[in-house]
């Protein structure tokens, strides 16, 4: 088929905009040909189980799914009963960007907490985690954190452990939404298990699409004692793939030769380059009317500027508003963002801010 898009077009809207990593496409092609048993009994999924146990511990189990929303909903459903509730940040993806799927599909109640940096703490969780035994209140039985957060910030292993200890002491499971977990691992410079299994996370939504996969995510069970019926929930939630070998092959590709960390490191580095170039311009006085609202710890840059300027910049390079009421925008870098892309975007930002004086 003839290409229908301009392959030279670049944006800073989302790492989902990026294509499939060439090494992942190769992995899909290599998994093709011949027949393999369907629904996860194939050799690629078997190998994925082995790799995941190596990365996360001998008790870990992996369940490939189609997308992040499916991973989050099925994972949370497996760790709490129908009368359970989940404590999360007000900016959590399960609250703001999943169309109410946790409530509609799983019947779960979400208790959300405002945070300045997208991160929960035991003290913040405690503001909504109460009322156990009260039949009039949905029972807070799980905590969900995001790594990296929706605001581009990171939890350290110690911070995750503090949350896990508090949650477990209060009879709550800990879920991690790892949509950008590769970016977190690259930024922290530690193995996955350091801030998941060893830090007390019970169940993980393991992302891949934002790091170069065609469309494959997974649920990783880290503490089987806290999970019930996930094998059945995945099917009834329409997340069981018949030709699972192609999903497993993609996930395996990220572990092969360090591809996942390499790709995420590059995306993080491009975000740092963008932030640094803009900060240098602000310091030198060549860029005015620009500030930053969050630390740049992975592959996201959160900035504040006039809405008029943002609109003019977006006419040339696409990105998303985060909170238009305060002029906050989000600029994302991906595995295929180049230094030239970043430098050109900085020029556009500088030019349009200058036009507004």
User: What is the CATH classification number for the domain harbouring 316?
Assistant: 3.90.1150.10
Q: Is 9 exposed, middle or buried (0-12, 13-18, 19+ CB in 10 A)?
A: exposed
> Which DSSP symbol is given to 83?
T
Q: Based on the domain organization, do 200 and 264 belong to the same domain?
A: no
Question: Which of 241, 257, 273 corresponds to the end of one domain?
Answer: 257
Model confidence over 120-151: pLDDT tens digits? 999 999 999 999 999 999 999 999 999 999 99
187 shares its domain with 305: no
Asked, for residue 7, whether it belongs to a domain, the answer is: no
* Residue 220 in tokens: 């990783």
Q: Examine the domain organization and report whether 302 and 326 are in the same domain.
A: yes
pLDDT of 357 > 80? The answer is no
| CA dihedral for 148, 153, 154, 155, sign (positive or negative) | negative
Residues 65-122 have pLDDT tens digits of 999 999 999 999 999 999 999 999 999 999 999 999 999 998 999 999 999 999 999 9
In a domain, 101, yes or no: yes
Alpha-carbon distance of 244 to 37, in angstroms, equals 9
Classify residue 6: in a domain, yes or no. no
Which domain does 224 fall in, by range? 20-257
Q: Indicate the number of domains in the chain.
A: 2
Task: Report pLDDT digits (tens) over 195-205.
Answer: 999 999 999 99
């Amino acid at each position: 088929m003839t290409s229908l898009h301009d392959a030279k077009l670049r944006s800073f809207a989302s790492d989902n905009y990026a294509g499939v990593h060439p090494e992942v496409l190769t992995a899909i092609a290599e998994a093709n040909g011949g027949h393999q048993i369907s629904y996860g009994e194939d050799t690629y999924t078997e190998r994925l189980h082995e790799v995941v146990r190596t990365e996360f511990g001998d008790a870990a189990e992996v369940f490939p799914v189609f997308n992040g929303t499916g991973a989050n909903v099925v994972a949370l459903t497996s760790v709490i009963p129908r009368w359970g509730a989940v404590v999360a940040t007000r900016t959590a993806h399960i609250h703001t960007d999943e169309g109410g799927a946790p409530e509609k599909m799983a019947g779960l109640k979400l208790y959300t907490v405002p945070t300045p940096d997208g991160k929960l703490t035991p003290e913040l969780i405690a503001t909504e985690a109460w009322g156990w035994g009260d039949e009039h209140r949905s029972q807070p039985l799980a905590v969900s954190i995001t790594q990296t957060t929706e605001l581009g910030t990171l939890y350290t292993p110690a911070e995750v452990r503090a949350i896990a200890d508090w949650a477990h002491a209060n009879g709550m499971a800990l879920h991690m939404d790892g949509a950008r977990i590769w970016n977190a691992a690259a930024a922290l410079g530690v193995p996955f298990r350091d801030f998941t299994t060893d830090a007390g996370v019970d169940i993980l939504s393991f992302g891949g699409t934002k790091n170069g996969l065609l469309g494959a995510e997974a649920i990783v069970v880290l503490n089987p004692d806290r999970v019930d019926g996930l094998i059945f929930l995945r099917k009834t939630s329409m997340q069981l793939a018949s030709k699972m070998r192609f999903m497993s092959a993609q996930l395996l590709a990220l572990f092969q030769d360090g591809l996942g960390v390499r790709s995420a490191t590059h995306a993080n580095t491009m975000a740092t380059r963008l932030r640094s170039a803009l900060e240098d311009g602000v310091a030198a006085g060549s860029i005015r009317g620009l500030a930053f609202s969050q630390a740049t710890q992975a592959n996201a840059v959160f900035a504040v500027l006039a809405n008029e300027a943002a609109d003019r910049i977006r006419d040339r390079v696409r990105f998303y508003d985060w909170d238009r009421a305060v002029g906050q925008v989000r600029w994302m870098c991906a595995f295929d963002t180049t230094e030239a892309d970043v430098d050109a975007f900085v020029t556009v930002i500088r030019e349009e801010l200058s036009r507004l004086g």
